[in-house]
Amino acid sequence: MTTNEVVASYKHYVKKIMDFNESIALAEWDLRTGAPKKGVKQRAEVIGTLSEEVFKRSTSDEMKGYIDALTDPTVQEQLSLITKKMIEKSQKEYDHNVSIPAEEYKAYVILQSEAQSVWQEAKAKSDFSMLQPYLEKIVDYKRHFIEYWGIRHNKYDALLDLYEPGLTVKTIDHIFESLRNGLVPLVEAVVASGNQPKKDFLAQPFPVDRQKELCHHLLREIGYDFNAGRLDETEHPFELTLNPGDVRVTTNYQEHDFISTILGTIHEGGHALYEQHISRELVGTPLCEGTSMGIHESQSLFFENFIGRSRAFWSYHYDELRRDADRHFSSVSLNDFYRAINASHPSFIRTLADELTYPLHIMVRYDLEKALFNSDLQVKDLPGVWNEKMNEYLGITPKNDREGVLQDIHWPGGDFGYFPSYALGYVYAAQFKHAMIKDIPDFDDRLQSGKLHEITHWLSTHIHQYGSLKKPLELLQEATGECPNPNYLLRYLTEKYSEIYHF
């Protein structure tokens, strides 16, 4: 075959893998948004079977043949940039997975689905012992996988690479140390301040049907395309992409905590915008996804915090909110509302944490994950060590497993190495905003007038359109001119909370 014929055959082969992945995503969506409990086991089997097929195809002799043929130096000269990057990604996945026995991988995927279902019940009953045996097996599988991949300087680096290519424990330790040194005294100053915002009015009942209308409206305002997505309800909000034309988000409506619902919806909308704006040239290729979880999280946190928690954003939308809330806030000034939604205090639940204390929640999980995979911690000891870390970083101790170690779905889903991306994404988001202001100096004026188009366009131009065509650190460097720099986030939080709490 000619090079063009090999490329065409390879792309057709990869397209089939992507079609299987879309089917898996659809099955997972249904599993997490309302599949009957009695159907969970069979659905997990279906997901396992489809995942096994993807695994086999990505590690097949046929895939190896394509990789060998298209990585030949003389052939590489004839390939487009997109084809080169596709091959590079296929090779990394092949090398990563070929050492794992297919049956073992299938059993692991089935275990993941079962564990996530058990987690829901364990969380409801606040009983870690229900989840413990599943989690022990998941950790054992991950440890085996690390052995298959080859032991690195730090075993946890192997898991970080799954979500944040190019970042290592050494680099993240440095970033997190800088953040922690700046955040802990800032949190202490906020707690000790005599100018605490009043926020009791935020607990007033906000009808769920009105919340739904407002959430749909605000998603449209930030640019989310409902012709390419939908909003549903689930226990743990998430975004899931089938393809750029079908990017779905969920939220959790809470009648007496509507602001968490709104901000959570905007957060998932930020994830969705990233996926909806990926270049259509990349559809059907492994490049049609976010380049890393940290870059992905930078987009959700950018919209949630730098837009959704800003005074400028609410100066435009506050009257709408007052109307939808039956004018419960008619006597509450915009400034008091702004201070209330940005009030900070140490709390137990990560997804409900304010933007100041949020990174410390991530550091708790990061420390535990490092310890688990470097044999310094056992699964059975997670609840106790979790509580110790929460007390060390945030000065509070969970009363039960539900508000402690069981609050997140990530570990039952096998997503070890994922959590650091949340805090890294926050660092990236602040860095992106700093760069954006150079091109859009009237950033706040645009928010005050409800004109977000140029802001979203900047993000799409510098980040979204590339999917995973560029590596995360490459993307960050090109968009901002720097490597990861936590100082922009620390400066933002220090200035914002000094003003809110009148330091």
Binding residues: 267, 271, 297
Length of the chain: 503
DSSP 196: P
Q: Tokens standing for 124?
A: 């409801």
Q: For 333-349, give one letter per residue: b (16+ CB within 10 A) or e.
A: eeeebbbbbbbbebbbe
Question: Are the beta carbons of 263 and 304 closer than 8 angstroms?
Answer: yes
Q: Which of 52, 164, 239, 268 is catalytic?
A: 268
Give the pairing of strands 239-243 and 246-251. Answer: antiparallel
Return d(Cα 84, Cα 7) in angstroms, integer: 10
Angle value at C-alpha 191, between 186 and 193, nearest 5 degrees: 90
- Does residue 66 contact residue 6 with C-beta atoms inside 8 Å? yes
Whether the Cβ atoms of residue 113 and residue 40 lie closer than 8 Å to each other: yes
Two structure tokens written together for 499: 């003003």
55 CB burial (10 A radius; 0-12, 13-18, 19+): buried
275 is catalytic: no
- Three-state secondary-structure class, residue 486: coil
Residue 260 CA to residue 251 CA, distance in Å, equals 10
Q: How far apart are CA 202 and CA 340, in angstroms?
A: 8
Please state the φ and ψ torsions of residue 34, each to the nearest 5 degrees: 145, 10
Asked if residue 424 lies in contact with residue 455, where contact means CB atoms within 8 angstroms, the answer is no
Q: Which two tokens stand for residue 187?
A: 């949190």
Binding-site annotation: residue ranges for Zn(2+):
267, 271, 297
Mind telling me the catalytic residues? 268
